[in-house]
RNA sequence: GGGGCUGUAGCUCAGCUUGGUUAGAGUGCCGCACUGUCACUGCGGAGGUCGCGGGUUCGAGCCCCGUCAGCCCCGCCA
């Protein structure tokens, strides 16, 4: 299959099976070891390495000469015979190490300048600075680690296509040049040449299109969709990213979750991990109460407890006063946490403060009873009521629920990285359900959609939509894995009247609604089936399954945190004439 | 928009604490030697805008201010 006019095999594919065969290979010079009379070359391609052995006993003089002059990363074509290595390979895990190629012909077809960053790295040698890796992306992409990541990415993509196709989903493409319809994030805009002062927007997601496909009767849609959001970046966020986007008609939340679970199961299986179904479901309120987060890492217990009922009269005044003001005392008991150093505990306290807590109350249970700063703060009555056993560590926070949740979530996340903290499992999926429909904007105090404005309200809460929008739940669900949000979805609004009401709750005038979302409302009025869907953050999934720590390691040509492409040099200024054609003027 | 870390040879880093002769190491590169290496080995050599700009000082890689770039986090973002 991999044979071409130039080669019979890939370098990394040679094994005992080919011993004695005459082969032709093409690849990159990974490393060269020149012993004077003998030259060994590790030749690399996407399948791996094979050792070339150049020896006057079988290599003609010109071959010896050329082999001795080979620079790193040069592309060569080689002819030779596959032979077992004289000595048992030291690295038996690399099958190609069992054999080598006795070179009879060697031709340089792609001379290479000395690489600016090394492709062949020594053991434990640090990676070059990320800036250089991005600038010299071609060289970085040659590294076996990134080759493996990109190959995994391909396999996951194909697997997703396969399983969704088996589930009768149709892959349908939607426009990249779309209408600016803000869903929360800033749009990337594209000026129109034919229509002065008008703009396309790149899609933040194919949300409205996929809903209209449901209205159009396509019943089950999916797309490996590129999405664009002009927001500030993070290690796990890029300005353009890929979603496995899907939508289905006549479905309940369970139906959608069922499909998503099947997709995730197959993707994890492709990466060699067996996943149990169904995933546990956890209410949004419950998740915040027990874990302080709507994306809890359920590989760990470490549940948050409400300690308020245990507070006695001997608690410190700042605790009793906060209690009187309506705050709660919440905490985590870490079994075995008594062994943490003071430095580790101080580190946790710093995180709690950073998250807005006044401080972290802590106490550990030694042989003689509870000790530590928390004995005074929480009061010994509380600690007696709490009980516990020797070696326990109590970490607690007083404050509003919002503060204690985010502080304890930060503490809990840090705890999971400390040595000796017990893990219940390696792979913990869950669904977070019953999200609120609206959030209150911190600045304006106005209602904003918790997700996007097309999410259907929970039927049980529909009657409160006007009276008390804040208490309305949504038919929205998130898939969470090991503390990472993999994606989210919902049942959509199909009643145009309800959709109008949501828009107007968001402060849109009738005219705004018409202008911005008229085509959606017309669609919904044309006979809309009940429908819902989901979008999985594909890059993040690849990152997690590849064991990478950055999205940039699973994207061939990523952007920096300032949204620059260092390799090709985007964005870039354009010729004023080109701007004029677009009816634009660049102001300094 | 805010905070933090980093920037010295092609690459990875030391030097900065406490300003002072000619800025070092490993690796890569170049040359020589070497017939079973696999991070080959040995010997020799070249290689520096200490990110950039300004300031303090007799003197700045080192101190101060600004700026640029990369990374991480908060805000933002599904």
- pLDDT computed for residue A551 by the predictor: 96
- On strand B, nucleotides with any atom < 7 Å from a protein CB are 1, 10-13, 27-30, 33-41, 69-78
CA–C1' gap, A31 and B9, in angstroms = 22
Instruction: Please state which of the ranges A83-97, A400-414, A459-473 shows the lowest mean pLDDT.
Output: A83-97
Nucleotide nearest to A118 (CA to C1'): B11
CA distance A188 to A191: 10
CA distance A143 to A118: 9
CA–C1' gap, A546 and B78, in angstroms = 22
CA–C1' gap, A550 and B59, in angstroms = 45
The angle, 0 to 180 degrees and rounded to 10, between the axes of the packed helices A401-415 and A284-291 is 60
CA distance A169 to A211: 14
Nucleotide nearest to A439 (CA to C1'): B78
Q: What is the pLDDT of residues A529-557, one digit of tens each?
A: 999 999 999 999 999 999 999 999 999 99
CA–C1' gap, A29 and B35, in angstroms = 21
b/e string for A411-434 if b means 16 or more Cβ within 10 A?
bbbbbeeeeebeeeeeebbbbbbb
Helix, strand, coil % over all residues of chain A, rounded to 5: 35, 25, 40
What is the DSSP code string of A410-479? HHHHHHTTSTT---S-S--EEEEE--BSEEE-TTT--EEESS-TTBPBPGGGGGGTTT-GGG-BBSEEEE
Closest CA to A372 of A407, A404, A348: A348
The pTM of this model reads 0.94
Task: Tell me the residue length of chain A.
Answer: 588
Q: Classify the C-alpha dihedral A540-A545-A546-A550 as positive or negative.
A: positive
CA distance A106 to A80: 9
Q: Which residue is nearest to nucleotide B42 (CA to C1')?
A: A35
Q: What is the pLDDT of residues A297-349, one digit of tens each?
A: 999 999 999 998 888 888 788 888 888 888 899 999 999 888 888 888 888 88
Q: Which residue is nearest to nucleotide B75 (CA to C1')?
A: A232
Pairing label, strands A170-171, A220-228: parallel
Q: What is the pLDDT of residues A456-506, one digit of tens each?
A: 999 999 888 888 888 899 999 999 999 999 999 999 999 999 999 999 888
**Does pLDDT of A92 surpass 50?**
no
Nucleotide nearest to A551 (CA to C1'): B71
**Does pLDDT of A9 surpass 90?**
yes
- pLDDT computed for residue A91 by the predictor: 52
Nucleotide nearest to A102 (CA to C1'): B36
CA–C1' gap, A86 and B62, in angstroms = 55
Q: What is the pLDDT of residues A182-205, one digit of tens each?
A: 667 899 999 999 999 999 999 999
CA–C1' gap, A167 and B15, in angstroms = 63
- Beta-carbon contacts of residue A182 (< 8 Å; ≥ 6 apart): A204
Nucleotide nearest to A455 (CA to C1'): B78
- pLDDT computed for residue A95 by the predictor: 55
At which residue do the structure tokens 């326990």 appear?
A: A392
Nucleotide nearest to A184 (CA to C1'): B77
- pLDDT computed for residue A63 by the predictor: 97
CA–C1' gap, A119 and B45, in angstroms = 25
Nucleotide nearest to A186 (CA to C1'): B77
Nucleotide nearest to A185 (CA to C1'): B77
CA–C1' gap, A114 and B40, in angstroms = 20
* Of residues A148 and A356, more confidently modeled: A148
In the predicted model, what is the mean pLDDT of residues A358-371?
88
CA–C1' gap, A67 and B32, in angstroms = 18
CA–C1' gap, A588 and B66, in angstroms = 21
Mean of the per-residue pLDDT values of chain A: 92
Q: Which residue is nearest to nucleotide B6 (CA to C1')?
A: A129
CA–C1' gap, A31 and B26, in angstroms = 18
Nucleotide nearest to A435 (CA to C1'): B78
Cβ neighbours around A363 below 10 Å, total: 27
**Does pLDDT of A355 surpass 70?**
yes
Q: Which residue is nearest to nucleotide B34 (CA to C1')?
A: A36
Closest CA to A516 of A227, A213, A208, A212: A208
Strand ranges for A111-259 from DSSP E: 170-171, 189-191, 199-201, 220-228, 240-249
CA distance A26 to A11: 7
CA–C1' gap, A86 and B44, in angstroms = 34
Q: Which residue is nearest to nucleotide B11 (CA to C1')?
A: A117
Confidence of residue A442 (pLDDT cuts 50, 70, 90): low
Q: Which residue is nearest to nucleotide B1 (CA to C1')?
A: A232
């Amino acid at each position: 299959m991999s044979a071409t006019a130039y080669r019979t095999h890939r370098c990394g594919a040679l094994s005992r099976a080919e011993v004695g065969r005459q082969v032709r290979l093409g690849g990159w010079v990974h490393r060269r070891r020149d012993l004077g009379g003998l030259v060994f070359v590790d030749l690399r391609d996407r399948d791996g390495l094979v050792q070339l052995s150049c020896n006057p006993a079988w290599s003609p003089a010109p071959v010896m000469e050329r082999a001795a002059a080979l620079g790193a990363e040069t592309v060569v074509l080689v002819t030779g015979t596959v032979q077992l290595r004289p000595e048992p390979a030291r690295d038996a895990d690399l099958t190609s190490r069992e054999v080598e190629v006795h070179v009879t012909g060697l031709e340089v077809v792609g001379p290479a300048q000395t690489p600016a960053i090394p492709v062949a790295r020594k053991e434990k040698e640090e990676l070059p600075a990320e800036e250089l890796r991005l600038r010299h992306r071609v060289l970085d992409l040659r590294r076996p680690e990134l080759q493996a990541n990109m190959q995994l990415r391909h396999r996951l993509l194909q697997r997703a296509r396969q399983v969704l196709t088996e589930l009768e989903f149709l892959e349908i493409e939607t426009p990249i040049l779309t209408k600016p319809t803000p869903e929360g994030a800033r749009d990337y805009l594209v000026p129109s040449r034919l229509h002065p002062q008008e703009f396309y927007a790149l899609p933040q997601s194919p949300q409205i299109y996929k809903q209209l496909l449901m209205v159009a009767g396509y019943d089950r849609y999916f797309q490996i969709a590129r999405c664009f959001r002009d927001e500030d970046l993070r290690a796990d966020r890029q300005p353009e990213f890929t979603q496995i986007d899907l939508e289905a008609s006549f479905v309940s939340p369970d139906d959608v979750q069922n499909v998503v679970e099947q997709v995730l199961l197959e993707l994890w299986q492709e990466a060699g991990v067996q996943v149990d179904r169904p995933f546990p479901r956890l209410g949004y309120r419950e998740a915040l109460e027990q874990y302080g987060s709507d994306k809890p890492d359920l590989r760990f217990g470490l549940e948050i407890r409400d300690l308020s009922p245990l507070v006695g009269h001997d608690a410190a005044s700042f605790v009793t006063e906060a209690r009187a003001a309506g705050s709660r005392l919440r905490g985590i008991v870490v079994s075995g946490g008594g062994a943490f150093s003071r430095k580790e505990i101080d580190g946790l306290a710093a995180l709690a403060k950073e998250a807005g807590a006044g401080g972290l109350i802590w106490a550990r249970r030694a042989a003689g009873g509870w000790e530590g700063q928390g004995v005074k703060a929480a009061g010994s009555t509380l600690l007696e009521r709490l009980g516990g056993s020797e070696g326990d560590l109590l970490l607690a926070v007083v404050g509003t629920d919002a503060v204690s949740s985010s502080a304890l979530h930060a503490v809990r996340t840090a705890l999971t990285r400390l040595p000796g903290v017990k893990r219940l499992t390696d792979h913990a999926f869950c669904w977070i359900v019953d999200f609120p429909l609206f959030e209150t904007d911190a600045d304006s105090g106005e209602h904003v959609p918790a997700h996007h404005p097309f999410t259907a309200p929970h039927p049980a809460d529909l009657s409160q939509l006007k009276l008390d929008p804040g208490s309305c739940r949504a038919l929205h669900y998130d898939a969470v894995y090991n503390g990472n949000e993999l994606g989210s979805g919902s049942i959509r609004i199909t009643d145009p009247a309800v959709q109008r009401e949501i828009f107007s709750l968001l402060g849109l005038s009738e005219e705004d609604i018409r202008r911005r979302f008229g085509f959606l409302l017309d669609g919904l009025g044309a006979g809309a089936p009940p429908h819902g869907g989901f979008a999985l953050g594909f890059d993040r999934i690849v990152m997690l399954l590849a064991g990478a720590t950055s999205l940039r390691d699973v994207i061939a040509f990523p952007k920096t945190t300032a949204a620059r492409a260092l390799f090709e040099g985007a964005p870039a200024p354009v010729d004023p004439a080109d701007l004029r054609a677009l009816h634009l003027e660049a102001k300094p």
